Amino acid sequence: MIENWAPSDMPICCAVGCAREVGAQLVSLGVNRYILAYDDEGSLRRKVPKMAYTVKGETGDWEVVVGLEVHAQISSQSKLFSGASARFGAEPNENVSLVDAAMPGMLPVLNAECVKQGVRTGLALNSKVNKRSVFARKNYFYADLPQGYQISQYEEPIIGEGEIEIDLEGGETKNIGIERLHLEQDAGKSLHDQSPTKSFIDLNRSGVALMEIVSKPDMRSPDEAAAYVSKLRSILRYIGSCDGNMAEGSMRADVNVSVRKPGEPFGTRAELKNINSIRFVRQAVEIEAKRQIKLIEGGGTVDQETRLFDPNKGETRSMRSKEDAHDYRYFPDPDLLPLELNDAYIEDCKATLPELPDAKKHRFIDDYGLSPYDASVLVAERETAHFYEKAAKASGDPKAAANWISVELFGRLNKSGVALVDSPISAEQIGALIGLIKDGTISGKIAKDVFDEMFQSSKDPGAIVEEKGLKQITDTGAIEAIVDTLIAENQKQVAAYRDGKTGLLGWFVGQVMKQTQGKANPGVVNQLLRSKLDT
């Protein structure tokens, strides 16, 4: 089924981008010049000069410039200006009031929750809240827009400039500027494949509240664009202003891409509409940049236009069919007075914000000694961060807890397609397992077997160790007996070792482990073997 979230030949949301002259205000904010590399312990090991992302063309290297407009559906019960349900997935035209269907005489009344979520989101994006904003009509003609205009905000949006931090490979970060956030109505949905000559219109989405979040053109690679969308999604989900479900369309991105030779002014950009996954954002930037470079190097010029990204064909295509499509004739909506907010209201909104991903990340780094990379993985989802903190506290070893969760648990969850909320292993159990390693009850190697069993049965690690007799042998006498026998039975290896083939120590350790089913304390085994072999 072909579904159009927005009209295909009359984009509903590019006017803001069009109004913002490209190149007028490039703000490069605190870009790191180095990739910081960390070792397993999370300590800073080296600084590697950062390689800027470039695309090789026939005439040299090209830089990619990306800005994003993200549409995020506000998590509200009812629509922005009507009392119809904003729920996804109802029967066609079920969630439609006469306001949404634009019947004559119907008037919009603003939903308080949508204002609150807009302000909370603005604050979470470290952006300026405008105490006065104005709803404007953006006029265009399309079948799934019964009013003939979308109520949006134009010159005076509810949220102004700010910036957020994005997480890149190797724990590197970069600040990306936010241009604005405004409130607007979603359009209806057109189905084009029900009939060869007709389009079917469902107005359930018509009037649902959206936040359009516009970034500055601060991103320079496909990865940065993807990291920006990830971080935005993470923030929205933390504060609960949007569920961030890209597959259902509650969050989708318009990606503006242009290319230039490093140091030159911005090139002409093309806008890729309605991209609905983070992976596709990355692909779309890559493919569109290559197209533009080939075009320019072949003597052509990039048109400022709207394009469609086709992930199946791996290409972008022009969507423009009417030249006058962009004449939106904005004017203030006479049905709505200006939206006025006071300091007390903004403070109240601020007080409802939870600890945000970046604050949490920095706290995890400072308090738990995690590497920036581990911290950014663990804070991406609020539930994960919560799970981690429980495990860290129960274990008394936050770094070990981070490893067990991000490597062992996530690995198994991903493999079996289970979400963290349904994890068969609880945070407390991970804490208990780490406790067993720390107090010498089991070795790290045995712990992995115990973890597998925990993942299968959800049993406590202590019970599994007890049941299967996995307790580490720390009784030096027992281990010594095994070591003595081993040395007596393998004189050839002993001689080779004493002749300088000290690498054979590993073989001896392995033999002891084999005989004890891995339960011998590796420290004790090493120590005993050394003392006996080296004399």
Interaction site with another protein (CB under 8 A)? 4, 7-9, 76-78, 82-85, 91-99, 101, 103, 109-115, 134, 139-143, 148, 190-192, 194-203, 321, 324, 327, 329, 332, 334, 336-340
Question: What tokens were used for 284?
Answer: 């779309």
Burial class from Cβ neighbours inside 10 Å (0-12, 13-18, 19+) for residue 442 reads buried
Cα(262)–Cα(332) distance, integer angstroms: 41
**CA distance between the termini of the chain:** 78
* Nearer residue to another protein within complex by CB, 27 or 103: 103
Q: How far is the CB of 76 from another protein (least distance, A)?
A: 5
CB of 528 closer than 8 Å to CB of 476? yes
Nearer to another protein, 31 or 110 (CB): 110
- The torsion region of residue 227 among left (phi > 0), alpha (psi -120 to 50) and beta comes to alpha
In whole angstroms, the minimum distance from the beta carbon of 388 to another protein comes to 33
Smallest distance, Å, CB 421 to another protein? 26
Structure tokens at 98: 């006469």
Nearer to another protein, 317 or 415 (CB): 317
Q: Which is nearer to another protein, 337 or 418 (CB)?
A: 337
Instruction: Map residue 178 onto helix, strand or coil.
Output: strand
**Distance between CA atoms of 353 and 361, rounded to whole angstroms?**
16
Q: Exposed/middle/buried for 305, CB within 10 Å: 0-12, 13-18, 19+?
A: middle
Nearer to another protein, 36 or 74 (CB): 74
Q: How far is the CB of 120 from another protein (least distance, A)?
A: 14
Nearer to another protein by Cβ, of 7 and 267: the residue is 7
373 touches 403 (CB < 8 A): no
Secondary structure element (H or E) that encloses residue 259, with its range: strand 251-260
Task: Report, in Å, the least distance between residue 257 CB and another protein.
Answer: 24
Q: What are the CA-CA distances from residue 140 to residues 96, 143, 150, 286 (Å)?
A: 21, 10, 8, 31
Which token pair is 255? 């990606």
Query: Which is closer to another protein, CB of 86 or CB of 226?
Result: 86
Distance of closest approach, residue 258 Cβ to another protein, in angstroms: 27
Residue 139 neighbours by CB under 8 Å, 6+ apart: 148, 149, 328, 329, 330
Q: What is the DSSP letter of 87?
A: -
Burial category of 42 from C-beta neighbours within 10 Å (exposed 0-12, middle 13-18, buried 19 and up) = buried
Rounded to a whole number of angstroms, the minimum distance from the CB of residue 113 to another protein is: 3
The residue among 226 and 272 lying less far from another protein, judged by its C-beta, is 272
Q: How far is the CA of 284 from the CAs of 55, 226, 290, 321, in angstroms?
A: 14, 10, 10, 21
d(CA 434, CA 226): 35
198 vs 492, which CB is nearer to another protein?
198
Q: What are phi and psi of 318, to 5 degrees?
A: -65, 135
Residue with smaller CB distance to another protein, 223 or 243: 243
Q: CA-based angle 148:154:155, to the nearest 5?
A: 145
- Burial class of residue 40 (count of CB atoms within 10 Å of its CB; 0-12, 13-18, 19+): exposed
Q: Which is nearer to another protein, 210 or 450 (CB)?
A: 210
Residue 23 to residue 260: CA distance in whole angstroms: 12
Q: Which is nearer to another protein, 158 or 413 (CB)?
A: 158
Residue 325 has φ and ψ, to the nearest 5°, of -65, -25
The secondary structure of residue 3, as a DSSP letter, is E
Q: Which residues pair with 225 in a beta bridge?
A: none
Please name the residues in contact with 126: beta carbons below 8 A apart, sequence gap of 6 or more.
Answer: 162, 163, 164, 178
Minimum separation from the CB atom of position 96 to another protein (A): 5
Is 113 or 428 the residue whose CB approaches another protein more closely? 113
